Chain A
Amino acid sequence: MTAMVKSEGVHKSFGTVEVLKGIDLTVNTGEVFCLIGPSGSGKSTFLRCINHLEKINAGRLYVDGELVGYRQKGDKLYELKDSEVALKRRDIGMVFQRFNLFPHMTALENVIEAPVQVKGTSKAEARERARQLLDRVGLADKAGNYPSQLSGGQQQRVAIARALAMDPKLMLFDEPTSALDPELVGDVLDVMRDLAESGMTMVVVTHEMGFAREVGDSLVFMDEGVVVESGHPRDVLTNPQHERTQSFLSKVL
C-alpha cells in the first residue's frame, strides 16, 4: 500500500496559539480516513494544511509523495509559487462544512466552472460530465437551480459533485454534515459511502461516529493539537484505550 498523505511532526500556529503540536499520520491510497475529536482539537486545521489552505510552521507534509507547499533542493526548502500550489490543488477535492457553492451560478455551472476555467475542458464535454456527476449524487433534475433554491443537503451534494468534476485522487471532507438538518444528513452520507466504495481516498473530519464505524478504514482521535489514539474505527470506537478518547466518546455516542 502506498501513502497518499504522509504527515511527519506537523506543527501549525496562529499567532501565539499552537493549534497543531506535531502530527504524525499516514493515509493510505484508497482508504477512508476519519478524523474525530472535540472542536478546537485542530482536526479541521490539519485538513486545510493538506491542500495548503493553511501553511504549516514545522514538520513535513507529503501528498502522493510530494511535499505540500514547498520544493526541496538539497537541504533547502523553496516556497512554491501560487501557480504551482494551484496546480497541485487540482488533484485534491475539498468539501466544506458551509458548502461554499458559488451562489451566482446554477448547480450545473458550479460543477463545470473548474474543469472549464482551470483545465480548459470544452464546455460541452464538461456539461456532459457534470450531468453524470449530478445524476450520481441524485440531483440530475436540479441542474438548473441556484444554490439558494436547494436544501442544505442538496447543496452539499452539488459541492461533492463540483469537487469530483476535477477528477481528484484525494478528497477532503471538512465536517460535511455538521451544518445540515438531521434528516438531510443521510443523503450526503450515502453519496460519501458510494464514493468510498468506488475506491476514492478520503480524509473525513466528522462527528458522524456511525459513518466512521461503517465506512472508515482508519480513525484518528485528536485533542489539543495531538493525535491521542488511532487504529481501526471499530476498535477505537468500541474499545478506546486512552482516557481522553473514552470521555469524548461517552459524550458523543
Chain B
Amino acid sequence: MTDKFEKAPADTPPAGEVSTSESATPSEAIKAIPVRHFGRWASGIIVIALLVALVFAFSQGDIQWHAVSDTLFDSSVVKGAGRTLLISVLAMIMGVVLGIVLAVMRLSKNPVTSWVAWLYIWFFRGTPVYVQLLLWFNLALIFPVLNLGPIYKDEMVDVMTPFMAALLGLGLNEAAYMAEICRAGLLAVDEGQTEAAHALGMSHAKTLRRIVIPQAMRVIVPPTGNEFINMLKTSSLVYVVTYNELLRSTSAIGSTSYAVMELLFVASIWYLVMTSVFSVFQYYLERYYARGSSRSLPPTVFQKIKTNLLSLRSDGSAR
C-alpha cells in the first residue's frame, strides 16, 4: 500500500522539466526576466567611486605606514591597551554593582533611599564625565588628608593616584547610567513572578536574587554591552588625569617621533580590535540569558557558518 502511494506522485509530472516539487499539480520553475534595478547600480557605482577616491587620498597622504606597523606591538602601546582594558573592566564592574544597588534603592518603598538614589543619578548624569575625572583628580586641593577616623588616614595625593581618579571618575559616572538600565530591567519583569515567589514563601531578597534579577538580565545585558563598548572608548578621557592608558601611551610616542597621526591610527586599530572582540562576547552573553525565553536559542556564529556552508553544498537550494 505505502509503496504504491509513494510512487504515485512520481508519475504525474510531465516529461521534460524535472520538478523537485512533490505536489500533484504539475509545476515548472518560473523563468522570468527580473526587474532591473538601475538605481541600485548607479548608487553602487557612486559609492565605490567615492571609496576609491578616499583610498587614493590616503595613498597620496604623507603617512609613514612603517611607523604604524613598527609601533603597533610596541611594548608601551600593548601595555597601554592593557591598561585601557583594565580600567574599563574595573569601572564597568563598579558601575554594574553600584548601578544594581541604586536601581533597587530607587524602587524601594523607603522614601529616603529612593530619593538619595535619585539625587545620585541626577548629579552623575547631569555633569560631564570629563569634569568628574578632574574633580576626583584634584580632590587633594580641598581635602589634603584622607581621614577615615581610626580605620585609615593618609595624604590625599598618595591615595588619589591617576588610577584611582580614573576608576572613581569612570565607575561612579557609569553607575548612574547602569542604575537606569537596571531599573528598566527590573520593571520589565512581570509582577506575577514576584507574587508566585512570595506565595511559595520566598523572602524579598531571595525573590529578587533568584527570580527577578535573572529575568531582568535579559533586558539589561544588551544595553550594558553598549555601555561597555562606550566605556572602552570613553576611557580615553582619563588621559587628563595622567593615567597611562592606550591614547596616552600612543601619543607619547607620536609626539617624540613626529608621527602624531600614525600613532593615532595605532590607537584606533587597538580600540577597534577590543570593541570587535567584545561584540562577539556580548552575543554569547545575550544568548545565555535568552534561555527559556524562546523555544530555540539563536545559532552561535559557528553554527551559522556551518549551515551556510551546508546550504552552499546542496546547490544553494536550502533557505
Contacts and interface: CB of A to CB of B under 8 A. Distances in A.
Contacts of A92: 199
A102 interface: yes
Given A96-B192, A96-B195, A148-B294, A102 B211 contact: yes
Contacts of A146: 291-292
Contact of A96 (B196, B204, B293, B294): B196
A32 B193 CA distance: 26
A100 B196 contact: yes
Nearest to A146: B292
A148 B293 CA distance: 7
B203 A82 contact: yes
B202 interface: yes
Contact of A102 (B196, B198, B203, B294): B196
B153 interface: no
Given A100-B192, A113-B210, A87 B201 contact: yes
B206 interface: yes
A157 to B, nearest CB: 15
Contacts, number: 72
Contact of A89 (B198, B204, B206): B198
B215 interface: yes
B231 to A, nearest CB: 27
B206 A147 contact: no
Contacts of A100: 190, 192-193, 195-196
A90 interface: yes
Contacts of A89: 198-201
B254 interface: no
Given A102-B211, A104-B291, A146-B292, A114 B201 contact: yes
A146 B211 CA distance: 15
Contacts of B190: 100
Given A117-B210, A146-B291, A102 B201 contact: no
A103 B292 contact: yes
A166 B215 CA distance: 23
Given A96-B196, A102-B211, A103-B215, A117 B292 contact: no
Contacts of B202: 86, 114, 117-118
Given A103-B292, A146-B292, A86 B198 contact: yes
Question: How many B residues touch the partner, as a band?
Answer: 20 to 34
B295 interface: yes
A118 B211 CA distance: 13
A87 B198 CA distance: 10
B128 to A, nearest CB: 38
A51 B195 CA distance: 11
B13 interface: no
B225 interface: no
B295 A98 contact: no
Interface string A147-182: 111000000000000110010000000000000000
Interface centre among B202, B215, B292, B295 (most CB of A within 10 A): B292
A83 interface: yes
Contact of A166 (B200, B292, B294): B200
A147 B199 contact: no
A105 interface: yes
Given A104-B291, A146-B292, A114 B192 contact: no
Given A96-B195, A147-B292, A148-B293, A104 B215 contact: yes
A163 B202 CA distance: 12
A140 B294 CA distance: 22
B292 A163 contact: no
B286 to A, nearest CB: 14
Contacts of B294: 148
Interface in A75-114: 82-83, 86-87, 89-90, 92-94, 96, 98, 100-106, 113-114
Contacts of B197: 102
A106 B291 CA distance: 10
B295 A53 contact: no
A96 B294 CA distance: 22
Interface string B163-193: 0000000000000000000000000001011
A69 B316 CA distance: 67
Given A102-B211, A117-B210, A86 B295 contact: no
Given A86-B201, A100-B190, A103-B292, 10 more contacts: A53-B198, A89-B201, A101-B196, A102-B197, A105-B292, A106-B292, A117-B206, A117-B210, A163-B199, A166-B201
19 contacts: A53-B198, A86-B203, A87-B201, A89-B199, A89-B201, A93-B199, A96-B196, A98-B192, A102-B197, A102-B211, A104-B214, A104-B292, A118-B202, A146-B291, A148-B292, A148-B294, A163-B199, A163-B200, A166-B201
6 closest cross-chain pairs (CB), A and B = A90-B201, A100-B196, A114-B200, A94-B199, A146-B292, A100-B192
